């Protein structure tokens, strides 16, 4: 009985994995014929009839990846660390990004002495994920400089350039100084995907 439960659980997980992967496999097609013909034209002479072709392409945007950077810092003195996230965009539209709310993480609990925020910088790199060609990059800048950097003047990523699969590498670097004391610090930046 235990083995049957394991087999059922394994099949269930495999089914979920297949369903999740189906979202990112590429184009799918469905077709129907609405113009049918079923008539005797024996006595009609020349016959002409319509053979229509229509294609309706649906918008597609599927995003997959990791968005958060979470650190646990221990010890004393000075330290610098970078955490990188990769976000994949499967799309058939032109995409533009807007970034808002990025800033140094501010202390929301803990000691009231010492620094009340941590220096945060960020670097963005956009790639055609199929060819690994670099499309656009923003060198490391203080986090708040990301705000309003893209929209309306930033780059647009057309599906023909990205191949329909774009990768965003978001690297965040924190700089801890000796006066950064115990506590929890946070910042919530927003990435808005504008579909053109």
State mean pLDDT over 120-132. Answer: 96
CATH code of the domain made up of 61-195? 2.60.40
| Average pLDDT of the chain, as a whole number | 86
Q: What is the pLDDT of residues 26-65, one digit of tens each?
A: 788 888 877 788 888 898 889 988 888 889 899 999 999 9
Cis peptide leading into residue 152 (ω within 30°): yes
Closest C-alpha among 127, 119, 142 to residue 89: 127
Return the percentage of the chain with pLDDT > 70, whole number. 86
Q: pTM of the predicted model, to two decimals?
A: 0.79
Structure tokens at 190: 């927003």
pLDDT of residue 22: 47
pLDDT of residue 25: 66
Residues 6+ apart with CB under 8 A from 13: none
State mean pLDDT over 149-154. Answer: 75
Residue 145 has pLDDT above 50, yes or no: yes
Domain ranges in the chain are: 61-195
Residues 6+ apart with CB under 8 A from 150: 96, 97, 98, 99
State mean pLDDT over 124-141. Answer: 96
pLDDT of residue 24: 61
Q: What is the pLDDT of residues 88-115, one digit of tens each?
A: 999 999 999 999 999 999 999 999 999 9
Q: What is the pLDDT of residues 2-11, one digit of tens each?
A: 454 444 444 4
Q: Which residue has the higher pLDDT, 38 or 174?
A: 174
């Amino acid at each position: 009985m235990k083995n049957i439960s394991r087999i059922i659980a394994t099949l269930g997980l495999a089914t979920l994995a297949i369903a999740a992967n189906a979202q990112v496999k590429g184009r799918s097609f469905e077709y129907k014929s609405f113009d049918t013909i079923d008539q005797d034209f024996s006595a009609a002479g020349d016959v002409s009839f319509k053979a229509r072709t229509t294609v309706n392409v649906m918008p597609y945007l599927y995003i997959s990846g990791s968005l958060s950077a979470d650190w646990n810092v221990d010890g004393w003195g000075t330290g610098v660390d970078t955490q990188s996230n990769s976000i994949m965009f499967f799309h058939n539209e032109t995409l533009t990004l807007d970034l808002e709310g990025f800033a140094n993480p501010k202390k929301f609990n803990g000691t009231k002495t010492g620094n009340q925020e941590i220096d945060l910088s960020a670097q963005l790199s956009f790639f055609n994920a199929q060819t690994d060609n670099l499309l656009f990059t923003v060198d490391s800048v203080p986090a708040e400089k990301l705000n309003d950097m893209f929209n309306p003047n930033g780059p647009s990523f057309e599906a023909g350039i990205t191949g329909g699969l774009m990768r965003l590498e978001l690297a965040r670097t924190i700089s801890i100084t000796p006066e950064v004391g115990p506590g929890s610090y946070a910042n919530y930046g927003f990435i808005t995907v504008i579909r053109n």
